[in-house]
Structure 1
Amino acid sequence: MEAWNDMINTALLGTEKMPLPAQAGIGALQQAMAQINSQAGLDKEEQFLQLAAVTFNVRQSGTKPLHQPTPNWIQAAAESLPYCSTRAAQVLKDLLEDEYQPLVNLWLERCIAAKRIVIPELVPTLLNRAIQHKEIRPSVATVCGCRGQWLSRFNPAWEFTNTTGEEELWHTGNLDQRKAALKRMREKDPAKARQWLEGSWPQDNANARAEFLKQLDGAVQPEDEPFLVGALNEKSQKVKDAAIVLLQQSPDSILVRNYAETAGRQITIKKEKALLGLSTKTTLHIQPAPVPEKAAWLSGIDYLSPNKNYKDEEYVLYQLIQHTPPAFWEQHFALSPVQILEYFTGPHEKYFSAFAKAAGQFKAVDWAKAILLVQGEGQFGQYTPLLQLLPLPEQEARIIRSLHKHENSEAQLQKAMRWPENWSHELAKEVINYTAKQPYKWTLHFYKDQITRIPVSIVPQLKNFAPAEPAHAQMWATLADQLTHLLRLKESTQNAFNE
């Protein structure tokens, strides 16, 4: 309607600069406008507002409203589990309001273990929290029960609560959903997961194939080898690289056997005469072979050294040792791990770390202990990843001892931050005694992240960890109060489902 456009222009520019045209509007509208304009007691602005009101109503008359079909409401299914207690619900409210995500995770774990579900009023809040924190989505879907499933129909962002079957998700989901379904099935039924992968392989693109192979990382089985060897013939280098990484994890794969045989031919121990031929001694001989042409039987090996301390052929041998199961060398030399490692000190020390990497890759506990024994505890910092192969009590004892002596403390602290269980009182004491001395570095964020590991029993001792510097001591006093609050919330969370 032209009259309405004129109204808009006048509203934007003002009645002085852009008065309404005399013939604005048609028919009955012109008559109404004439009547308004004839009222002498109205100024131009008031006339304009009345004209605009009339024009708007004329414009709206006869317009059909939008039609929304009446929704077919289906009630949520009845819950099969009881709701959590009022006390537990209040604890969750406190955690959600204060943004204590690790404690929210703990609450979810305790709720599931107690076979309870969250009260209805907190279901939307938890669903919204899970949008940002993908790692808690399975737990949130569980504690939200049937009501959470029902609500997900009205918000696409909550669809993670739908209990679509794993196989259906594998066939119809997006890439992330299919990766997650494959990983879960791999943990539950490795053979079926492999069948899924083989079945969809011809239809999947190279990027998807590489991503799916990554879901098998750390869980390779001998039965996977034919499929993985076939993947080495793919055109995509990304797919080849992913298959090589998996084959390197299997001690019995053809690739690893080729590595071991090639390395074994280059490293030997020979008996030689000594003291004018009156006695003999054993000597290690290392003869790195010339760098071969690239061949499938040595896939995954780099032929050019990135380190000036290693010639190309030495770097090739280093990689072969790194990807060879340590048990091979025990058979090859007929010696113990300690005896073998002692040969790789001194002039041959450049290969020592390759054995450490192999011990970590193939989870050789006896070799990890042997490396510690040969290198000495003071030098073990560079081999910290091997600590995870030792029994947990032994790992903990080493971390406590190192922190107490301030030996390689940062590396030991990083290990404690990835600890798979709650810290013991002694471990917590050593960790906090170390971090409290640097409150500007180890802030509240650190303690929030580690709160599920820190035992509540440490609360009475927190003030005792105050650093000597007055400024640092004041910072720690504030941190100690905040940490005490966190630990009391943790205690409430732990006790919320004890009734």
Structure 2
Amino acid sequence: MLTTPKRRTTDREGTDMRVTERATPAAPGSPSAVPWEELVTVALLGTDRRAPSWASGREAPAALLDLAAVETVRRRAGLRPAPAGPRPEPAAPDPRPPLPPAAARRLALLLSDRPGTGSGGRRGSAPDLMELLPQWLALANARGFAPPPEALPALLDAARGRTDLRPAVLAFAGPRALWLARLNPDWRFALRSAPGGAELPTEDPGRVQHLWEQGLFAERVALLGALRARQPAAARELLAGTWANERAEDRLMFLDSLRTGLEPADEPFLEQALSDRSRNVRATAAELLSSLPGSALAGRMAARAAACVAVDRTPGEPTLVVEPPHECDPGMERDGVAATPPTGRGERSWWLGQLVEAAPLAIWTGRLGGRTPTEIVALPVADDWRDELHAAWCRAAVRQRDPCWSRALLGPPSAPEAGGPGAVSLAERAKLLSTLGAAERAEWVAGFIATHGLSEAFQLLGVCAVPWAAPLGRAVVDALNIARDAGSYPWSFSGVMGLAERCLDPAETDRLAALTAIPDEPEDASPGAGGYWAEAFQRLTTTLRLRAAMREELGEP
């Protein structure tokens, strides 16, 4: 044991003030040395809640610190020096030009913004900068700029918290993002989601094979995706070489990568996957094969679906008659038809929908008397099978990216209920619109808004290209103005307002200037509606001006 010496306390001039005695902790390695774990526990809980065994009362906190100091020295002294590890290889150079200084300052501002809490659902008149980051990244990537190195940690943190930002962030961050991701486990997502497989050895067959066989799962996924984007056949052969030894969940992830560059040459491999022991793998293989109209599976599905639908001319007016399958045989199950329907769904209608969805849409013109998609969709359907049949055609049009069928199923935007003859929901209409060109999409949604207003337009606006085309932008502004003048309940349009801030062309700013004043409220208007509308339009115009400034800083005309 150590002795218990007297400790002398002095003032700043060195004059003795008083002499006290305090027990000095036991020497390290002595029988009464206190384990480090106990010291940590007492420090975390406090000496009041966890009475230490080596001291009590008012002396306990000081004794705890003394013991911790001695034990820390002992632990550090017991470490043996080891040779330094190798320095990490420097990051690959980024050949892109640096951001203009004004754009770099704007990026720092966008990354430092935190959404305000607000009150009562009101966001104030200040722009939400974080919501402008995706658009800023898209502009910067289009211009081919490289980020400032000091912004990379904040960029990766933003992408870690928001998966929707990851493709744009990693494309902008470039090779240094992957270099940093290998050093920080929090950023490992970059290794499996880097666009185009940056820094992956796709041009060296030996390194490709080594990484495929020895790499981490995230690295293998990134490698397969990068190789598929550049050399589809090589990616398929790489996957086929180890397919039998992969885990089921890994096979599913790898198989999904074949969606990129799907081609008829993939059919033999996908046909083999139809016999996989995993149900999810079989279903994905069947979906991919049905997206190839010339595949054998598409032909089998076409024959089954055609046997279920025909034209009946006996009533005088041509009518579609439907006879769903009476059973789900093993062949249907192998081709991806799920035998068991969801709760509340009939078996036969469930099987019919899957067959029609997977059948090539081109078969229906020949099967149904040479009619066009528009004429087919307009035919009446007997025995209440219309909704089921049209919903399956909607899914087939989306899966096969067929704009002719999408137009037929959408119908004119001014049609009653605005759903067209075949769309069963806003979600279905939005998916059908995604198969059309950007200009046609914008025109259809503008017509929908002009006829039906904004109450159901939110999902449809979400599939339109940014910035919105002029006709669509005018339709949105006009509809907002009508709702404002009518004294409508303002908070129900907050979602559309948020979209307008991000998607409306900044050229519309001048048209909005007159709407920033507080209007006279009708007697039946919601209390405070005028102030809310003025505030919302002020925020909208401020955001549009900010977006215009962002474009100028990045050199956009």
| 2:206 is aligned with 1:192 | no
Determine which structure has the larger helix proportion and give its number.
Answer: 1
- Closer, same or farther in 2 for the Cα pair 1:426/1:154, shift >3 Å? same
Q: Is the 8 A contact 2:414 2:451 kept in 1?
A: no
- Closer, same or farther in 2 for the Cα pair 1:235/1:378, shift >3 Å? same
Deviation at 1:427, TM superposition (A): 1.8
Map of 2:337 onto structure 1: 301
> Secondary structure in 2 aligned to 1:423?
coil
Unaligned 5+ residue runs, structure 2?
Answer: 1-29, 115-128, 192-197, 203-207
> Secondary structure in 2 aligned to 1:440?
helix
Deviation at 1:416, TM superposition (A): 1.0
Deviation at 1:45, TM superposition (A): 6.9
Deviation at 1:91, TM superposition (A): 0.9
Give matches, 1:40-439, under 5 Å. Answer: 60=73, 64=77, 66=79, 67=81, 69-70=83-84, 80-99=95-114, 100-137=129-166, 139-141=168-170, 143-144=172-173, 151=180, 154-158=183-187, 160=190, 163-166=199-202, 167=208, 170-217=212-259, 220-269=262-311, 284=319, 286=321, 288=323, 291-292=326-327, 294-297=329-332, 299-302=335-338, 312-313=347-348, 316-337=351-372, 338-345=374-381, 349-350=386-387, 351-372=389-410, 377-381=415-419, 382=424, 384=429, 385-406=431-452, 409-432=454-477, 433-434=479-480, 438-439=489-490
> Secondary structure in 1 aligned to 2:146?
coil
Q: Is the 8 A contact 1:456 1:487 kept in 2?
A: yes
Moved more, 357-366 or 428-437: 428-437
Deviation at 1:88, TM superposition (A): 1.3
Q: Is the 8 A contact 1:304 1:312 kept in 2?
A: yes
Structure 1: how far apart are the matches of 2:200 and 2:255? 23
Moved more, 462-471 or 235-244: 462-471
> Secondary structure in 2 aligned to 1:84?
coil
- Closer, same or farther in 2 for the Cα pair 1:64/1:116, shift >3 Å? same
Give CA-to-partner distance per residue, 1:434-461, whole Å, 9 cap, x none: 4875542444x76556644221123333
Structure 1: how far apart are the matches of 2:241 and 2:346? 44
Structure 1: how far apart are the matches of 2:325 and 2:53? 90
Give CA-to-partner distance per residue, 1:62-120, whole Å, 9 cap, x none: 96264365565576666544432221111112111224344323333333333432333
Q: Is the 8 A contact 2:110 2:133 kept in 1?
A: yes
Q: Is the 8 A contact 1:269 1:282 kept in 2?
A: no
- Closer, same or farther in 2 for the Cα pair 1:211/1:344, shift >3 Å? farther
Moved more, 488-497 or 294-303: 294-303
Q: Is the 8 A contact 1:218 1:249 kept in 2?
A: no
User: AA paired with 2:528?
Assistant: A
Q: Is the 8 A contact 1:117 1:142 kept in 2?
A: no
User: AA paired with 1:421?
Assistant: V
> Secondary structure in 2 aligned to 1:498?
coil
Query: How large is the Cα RMSD of the aligned pairs?
Result: 4.4
- Closer, same or farther in 2 for the Cα pair 1:47/1:244, shift >3 Å? closer
Structure 2: how far apart are the matches of 1:75 and 1:217? 34
Structure 2: how far apart are the matches of 1:483 and 1:254? 53
User: AA paired with 1:423?
Assistant: W
Structure 2: how far apart are the matches of 1:20 and 1:316? 77
Q: Is the 8 A contact 2:433 2:441 kept in 1?
A: yes
Aligned length: 465
Q: Percent identity?
A: 23
Deviation at 1:204, TM superposition (A): 0.6
Structure 2: how far apart are the matches of 1:489 and 1:233? 55
Moved more, 97-106 or 148-157: 148-157
Structure 1: how far apart are the matches of 2:412 and 2:538? 45
- Closer, same or farther in 2 for the Cα pair 1:19/1:306, shift >3 Å? closer
- Closer, same or farther in 2 for the Cα pair 1:450/1:157, shift >3 Å? farther
Give CA-to-partner distance per residue, 1:22-56, whole Å, 9 cap, x none: xxxxxxxxxxxxxxxxxxxxxx9799969986996
Map of 1:36 onto structure 2: none
Structure 2: how far apart are the matches of 1:80 and 1:4? 59
Moved more, 427-436 or 332-341: 427-436
Q: Is the 8 A contact 1:228 1:247 kept in 2?
A: yes
User: AA paired with 2:442?
Assistant: E
Structure 2: how far apart are the matches of 1:181 and 1:76? 19
Map of 1:490 onto structure 2: 547
Q: Is the 8 A contact 2:466 2:504 kept in 1?
A: no
Q: Is the 8 A contact 1:106 1:493 kept in 2?
A: no
TM-score (norm 2): 0.69
Structure 1: how far apart are the matches of 2:243 and 2:439? 44
Give CA-to-partner distance per residue, 1:331-351, whole Å, 9 cap, x none: 123322244334334656353
Q: Is the 8 A contact 1:83 1:118 kept in 2?
A: yes
Structure 1: how far apart are the matches of 2:413 and 2:199? 53
User: AA paired with 2:458?
Assistant: L
Deviation at 1:423, TM superposition (A): 0.5
TM-score (norm 1): 0.75
Unaligned 5+ residue runs, structure 1?
Answer: 22-43, 275-280
